[in-house]
Amino acid sequence: MFRTHTSIVNIAKNNLLNINKKMVHNKVTIIGSGPAAHTAGIYLGRAEIKPLVMFEGMMANGIAAGGQLTTTTEIENFPGFPEGMTGSELMDLMKKQNEKFGCEIITETISQVDLSSRPFKIWKEWCEDEEPILSDAIILATGASAKRLNLPGEEKYWQKGISACAVCDGAIPMFRNKPLAVIGGGDSACEEANFLTKYASKVYLIVRKDHLRASTIMQKRVEKNEKIEILYNHNPVEALGDSKFLTHLKVLQNTENKEYELPVNGLFYAIGHKPATDIVKGQVDLDETGYVKTVPGTSKTSVEGVFAAGDVQDSKYRQAITSAGSGCMAALDAEQFLSQFE
């Protein structure tokens, strides 16, 4: 059957309509789901920025939607909750507050972005062959994850003596007046060892080389602290304990090749973090450790219209409250950026 000119035009129109139907175009897309992402969503929702969409991830980087706080128990240092609450409860509340002001939250992971021109293009995991989602601005709040050692026994005693955040967990009763160990030789390890001496009976700082990598001032602080014993040339080998909690760490003195057990009730990893920046690598300026570089005092990245908030751009503070604060900054920066096109 031959098609008339009109029917061909109609088919073309319909195809175009279908393509347009598939092309979702957001004003702001938030990628991530921790305190930074939800705070940005709350601010933008209240500012009536629409369409406003958050991709909260589906086990992105191995962490549930809600981010790092979903991996811990009690949060005692987030202002406004004097009795404390679990990390998951806090994140559920943030999500609820974000939805209340109109942010659409989608439980999918973003696997690819094209930031070479605006509107930016965004693809969901498993949907890389489909039409991209378009967005006038992006807030990157994908967070970071603490590096782990994957020692034998680590899984069993994770959060039952083993932690990757001394500031977060150090003050809990199970660590009070007990011997603890910190692994690492950088500024974080020194800072965490010093911090833990407020609560611990003793802190072993376990360093794999014969020297610390930390800055001179931090080195001096740990060397001067009588509660800290630095074990140079030591590697952690195995986490040991009873049916519930960690009680010992097997270590290797690596110059003499001698293994022994250190009695410790807490083990804190301070061997660095990995920021979740793979999706923007090569498109946004990153520092030498992979964190997104922002213009100091702002959330602006090297790409106009792309803003970064939370741990993905913060190698220093890495706290829920600082992440939330930077999420607020990103929302206000994004709002100001969009206002120039009104």
Cα separation, 291 vs 277, in Å, equals 7
> Is 169 an annotated catalytic residue?
yes
* 208 near ligand NAP, judged by CB under 6 A: yes
* 183 near ligand NAP, judged by CB under 6 A: yes
Q: Which of 103, 136, 169, 190 is catalytic?
A: 169
Kindly list the distances between the CA atom of residue 256 and the CA atoms of 131, 230, 232, 250, in Å, as whole numbers in the listed order: 60, 17, 12, 15
Closest CA to 196 of 146, 267, 147, 245: 267
Of 20-28, 178-186, 221-229, 329-337, the window that binds ligand NAP (rule: CB under 6 A) is: 178-186
* 133 near ligand FAD, judged by CB under 6 A: no
Half-sphere exposure of 316 (CA within 13 A, CB side): 3
Cα separation, 106 vs 61, in Å, equals 17
* Contact by Cβ (8 Å): 39, 327: yes
Q: For 153, phi and psi rounded to 5 degrees? A: 90, -10
Q: Which of 28, 30, 36, 329 binds ligand FAD (CB under 6 A)?
A: 36
Kindly list the distances between the CA atom of residue 290 and the CA atoms of 116, 143, 149, 308, in Å, as whole numbers in the listed order: 20, 12, 20, 13
Q: Which of 67, 170, 184, 266 binds ligand FAD (CB under 6 A)?
A: 67
Size of interface with ligand FAD, in residues (CB under 6 A):
43
Cα separation, 260 vs 128, in Å, equals 51
Q: How far is the CB of 23 from ligand NAP (least distance, A)?
A: 41
Q: How far is the CB of 260 from ligand FAD (least distance, A)?
A: 28
* 311 near ligand FAD, judged by CB under 6 A: yes
**Omega cis (within 30) before 119:** yes
Q: How far is the CB of 257 from ligand FAD (least distance, A)?
A: 33
The 92-131 site mask, x for binding ligand NAP (CB under 6 A), equals ----------------------------------------
Cα separation, 120 vs 110, in Å, equals 13
The 212-251 site mask, x for binding ligand NAP (CB under 6 A), equals -x--------------------------------------
Coil, strand, or helix at residue 250?
A: strand
> Is 168 an annotated catalytic residue?
yes
Which of positions 260-279 make contact with ligand FAD (CB under 6 A)? 276, 279
CB atoms < 10 A from the CB of 199, how many? Answer: 18
Coil, strand, or helix at residue 163?
A: strand
Coil, strand, or helix at residue 79?
A: coil
* 294 near ligand FAD, judged by CB under 6 A: no
Which positions ≥6 away from 110 have C-beta within 8 Å? 31, 55, 57, 122, 123, 124, 125, 279
- Comparing every residue's Cβ against ligand FAD, the nearest one is 143
The item of ligand FAD, ligand NAP, none sharing an interface with residue 301, based on CB under 5 to 8 Å by kind, is none
Which residues would be at the binding site for ligand NAP (CB under 6 A)? 149, 183-189, 191, 208-209, 213, 270-272, 315-316
Which residues would be at the binding site for ligand FAD (CB under 6 A)? 31-37, 55-57, 60-61, 63, 65, 67-69, 71-72, 75, 77-78, 109-110, 141-144, 146, 163-165, 168, 276, 279, 310-312, 318-321, 323
Known catalytic residues are: 165, 168-169
